[in-house]
Amino acid sequence: MGVDKRYIIRGSEWINHNTPATAKVYVASPKMTFYVKRAGSRFPQDFPYGVDYTLTQRIHTIKTGDFNYAMLSANRNQVQTTLEKTNAAGLILVKRFKNNRDDEVLIFKKE
């Protein structure tokens, strides 16, 4: 059995039920796009094959893009760094979801 992905589904459901229908959401992966069905969300073709964006690049895209919310994932070794960098960038953590390996989906609101 693979890694528990229900935390991604729970995060996506939270976005879908707790943000305005017109909110534009930055998602960090094609998997998240599948569950977050919002205008402005990226689609699988927007994720170039073999390109892995750094957290700094993702934060820049969120800050300069036309997004209201962001849904980022972080493995257990990246959570603290992700929280520190997003906080420094002025993104507000509104919700977090965790799997059985302590990987997390973090949902932020853009100021």
Structural domains in the chain plus CATH codes? 6-110 (3.40.50.150)
3-state helix, strand, coil in the chain (%, to 5): 40, 20, 40
Contacts of 36 (CB under 8 A, 6+ apart): 12, 15, 16, 25, 27, 71
Question: Which of 60, 96, 63, 51 is CA-nearest to residue 78?
Answer: 96
The series of mean pLDDT values per 10 residues for the chain, 111 residues long, is 81 93 85 75 58 81 88 92 94 96 94 82
Task: State the first-to-last Cα distance of the chain, in angstroms, to the nearest integer.
Answer: 39
The total of other beta-carbon atoms located within 10 Å of residue 94's CB is: 15
Please give the model's pTM, rounded to 2 decimal places: 0.86
| Assigned token pair, 53 | 């964006």
Burial string for 63-84 (b: 16+ CB within 10 Å, else e) reads: beeebbbbbbbbeeeebeebbe
- Work out the widest C-alpha separation in the chain, in whole angstroms: 39
Query: Residue 44, SS3?
Result: helix
pLDDT at 11: 94
